[in-house]
Amino acid sequence: MPTVTKPSEVKTTKAKVLLVDDHPIVRQGLGQLINEEPDLSIVAEAEDFQQALAALDEAHPDVAIVDISLKDRSGIELIKEIRQRKPELPILVLSMHDESLHAERVLRAGAKGYIMKQEATEQVMNAIRRVLRGEVYLSEKMASRMVNRLVAGPQNVGGSPIERLSDREFEVFQMIGHGVGPSEIAEKLGLSVKTVETHRERIKEKLNLASGSELIRYAMQYVMDEMRDKR
């Protein structure tokens, strides 16, 4: 069950924050920092997709802070679901993952900003306030990259081939990299095995990979690189 603070415990002058992250230590640490701010207060915490949706209805937050790596479903799918249920609710993604691969993807899904967890606390609070004001928050580097892409056109801007994957394909790709087989992927994502296999074929085509074993090696290397970058 999501952890929800009783309305009487929260000052009405503070913006109500929903924090979604599958690491208890992160939720505790960030929650304490947010609650120390004069204009922000945590009203609910959730560790997975279903808890986050329950908290939306119970806590009525003013802003949601979401990680893109959750236990049961991807944060990107959660963002899309929140946008359907609460289209006016601003969402800020706070993640360890490289913004160059994920920021544009989460903005397309409906988030208002992306900030990496290694940023200073002051910058994180600034990002929260920016999205609360209805603005978009990105690092200067990422904002510049997106402007350059807009000016040059997507065909003229270099980038990782991973960026060519759709959100669902990227989700399947990550699960392959974690060693999850087609049947388990299908069960976790609520898809048929045939649909998962179709995604695998499209991923191979987009990444110019010749076989399933080559796809597995590529995906596992990607996941290993991501984990190393977090250290």
Residues 91-116: pLDDT tens digits?
A: 999 988 778 778 888 999 999 999 99
pLDDT at 147: 76
Fold for the domain defined by 3-147: Rossmann fold (3.40.50)
Contact 204, 213 (CB under 8 A): no
Nearest-angstrom CA–CA distance, 221 and 95 = 20
Coil, strand, or helix at residue 95?
strand
Q: Is the pLDDT of residue 10 over 90?
A: no
Q: Is the pLDDT of residue 228 over 90?
A: no
Domain ranges of the chain: 3-147, 161-230
Residue written as token pair 């920092």? 33
Decide the pairing of beta strands 63-66 and 15-20.
parallel
- pTM > 0.85: no
Nearest-angstrom CA–CA distance, 183 and 217 = 19
pLDDT at 73: 78
Nearest-angstrom CA–CA distance, 103 and 1 = 29
Percent of the chain with pLDDT over 90: 57
CA distances from 110 to 26, 80, 145 (A): 23, 6, 19
Mean pLDDT of 117-146: 91
CATH 1.50.10.20 given to domain 161-230? no
Mean pLDDT of 187-205: 92
Q: Is the pLDDT of residue 9 over 70?
A: no
Token pair of 9, please? 């415990």
Token pair of 87, please? 């289209």
Token pair of 75, please? 């944060």
pLDDT at 8: 47
Instruction: Please name the residues in contact with 149: beta carbons below 8 A apart, sequence gap of 6 or more.
Output: 157
Decide the pairing of beta strands 91-95 and 113-116.
parallel
Instruction: Tell me the pLDDT tens digit for each residue of 26-50.
Output: 999 999 999 999 999 999 999 999 9
